[in-house]
Amino acid sequence: MLTSRRCGAVLSTACLIALAGCGGGSSSDANSTKSADSSKPVTLTWWHNATADPLKGFWQQVADDYHALHPNVSFTVVPVQNEQFNTKLPVALQSNQPPDIFQEWGGGQEATQVDAGKLMDLTQASSSWISGIGGQAAGWQVNGKQYGVPYSLGIVGFWYNKAMFAKAGITTPPATFDDLLADVTKLKAAGLTPIAIGSKDKWPDAFYWDYFALRECSKDTILKSAADYTFDDPCWVAAGKDTQRLLDAKPFQNGFLATPAQQGAGSSAGMLATGKAAMELQGHWDPGVMSGLTTSKEVLGSNLGWFPFPSVTGGAGLAGAQLGGGDGFACSYKAPPECADFLKYVTSVEVQRKFGALNVGLPVMAGSETSVSDANLQTLLKARSSTPYVQTYLDVQYVTSVGQALDDAAAQQFSGDATPEQVVKQIADAAKNR
């Protein structure tokens, strides 16, 4: 999902509850207690999901700079297209030569990897510096131990084209779901595609279902689902009914079921970048993705705006709650101790400030936030710090099998092959069999 995808600056308690209740960590604790040998030659294989500049080149520079500081440590950097991580990484972790460093989104997915014994315990190695990240680091903990380290954390909302909104007579972004439906009607009447979506990749569909669940279900219900995996509250079906209302309004582009989210100019991100759609529900990484899909030096320029997911009248969700998550890295159980030291470098204020200056994500280390200069990302930083609650993407929050079932079920509703009730049943059945 994502030059990036996937707990918030105001950390979701759901992260803590779900992670505390997940599998028991049979990963290699031995590696986490070793010290890096400053003279022994080491080559770290690093898988990340930045396949386009500026982030692709940035990560290569980070590897080169670390090598300059530690001449014994070299890197084999392997950019992997985000959607391919879901298939390539599980296979690689089962092999005798897993990557030493790889993209990690925390939550139940990480807990599944820990339970399988595939991650290095970073608790001791990170104890002297992890506090600079604050409570945000808890999203990469399992049973109180640190198995991954975030470098960017953000929230999901609508990126939109201000000029297209103006053409349709829309003067302010929609604040409620009813407002959003009304704006969809206005945009269609103006001959414009209201919303681009990359349903081929499934997880963009789940963003809508997740957000409607966050609006319809109380915080306690959401937290309960992440702890005991029960989905019997009527709010879950209500979320599906809201999703169906949106689908019935036909807001998406023709052929949206076959459209990828981030691959090529014809992707949903590419459609927004090139003015072929008025908005897209995506994470903080979207401007960075779009910049690699258009020749324009500044994606949409002053016409690019952002607004939070609208409220739903009558819903029991906590007002102002946001869906979000972050990007991080983990070390495999076979990685040498130098891997942990490299993650310390990646999250140092110096590197984090350089990352923030790219304006493709939201840095996490204290003292680096002011490096973000993009006005829209500054808006997201303010929203991240002011929201009362950030819920991790549910497909990441839940263990892998349940998260995948959620993505699959949501995709089936978007394709017209599942009712709201059937979506909830598929998720609940997967939870029972987890």
Domain range holding 170? 157-321+396-432
* 257 and 415 Cβ atoms separated by less than 8 Å: yes
* 256 and 225 Cβ atoms separated by less than 8 Å: no
* 81 and 51 Cβ atoms separated by less than 8 Å: yes
Amino acid at 358: L
Q: Is residue 93 part of a domain?
A: yes
Pair (134, 187) in one structural domain: no
Pair (385, 317) in one structural domain: no
**What's the domain count of the chain?**
2
Tens digits of residue pLDDT in 398-407: 988 999 999 9
CA–CA distance from 269 to each of 17, 109, 154, 325 (Å)? Answer: 33, 25, 17, 19
Kindly tell me if the per-residue pLDDT of 360 is higher than 70. Answer: yes
237-247: average pLDDT: 98
Pair (198, 308) in one structural domain: yes
Which residues, other chains included, contact 45 with Cβ-Cβ below 8 Å and sequence gap of 6+?
75, 76, 78, 97, 99, 100, 101
pTM attached to this predicted model: 0.78
Pair (95, 227) in one structural domain: no
Pair (23, 142) in one structural domain: yes
Pair (184, 246) in one structural domain: yes
Q: Is residue 197 part of a domain?
A: yes
Kindly tell me if the per-residue pLDDT of 307 is higher than 90. Answer: yes
CA–CA distance from 367 to each of 126, 131, 133, 353, 370 (Å)? Answer: 18, 12, 10, 8, 7
Kindly tell me if the per-residue pLDDT of 37 is higher than 80. Answer: no
- pLDDT over 70 percentage in the chain: 91
d(CA 132, CA 145): 16
pLDDT of residue 7: 34
Q: Is residue 3 part of a domain?
A: no
Q: Is residue 7 part of a domain?
A: no
Q: Is residue 2 part of a domain?
A: no
Q: Is residue 6 part of a domain?
A: no
Structural element, H or E, at residue 307: strand 304-307
Q: Which CATH number belongs to the domain containing residue 52 in this structure?
A: 3.40.190.10
Pair (114, 59) in one structural domain: yes
Pair (150, 161) in one structural domain: no
Tens digits of residue pLDDT in 142-188: 988 999 999 999 899 999 999 999 999 999 999 999 999 999 999 99
pLDDT of residue 297: 67
The alpha carbon torsion through 7, 87, 208, 224 (nearest 10 deg) reads: -50
Pair (146, 163) in one structural domain: no
Helix (H, G, I), strand (E, B) or coil at 8: coil
Pair (186, 251) in one structural domain: yes
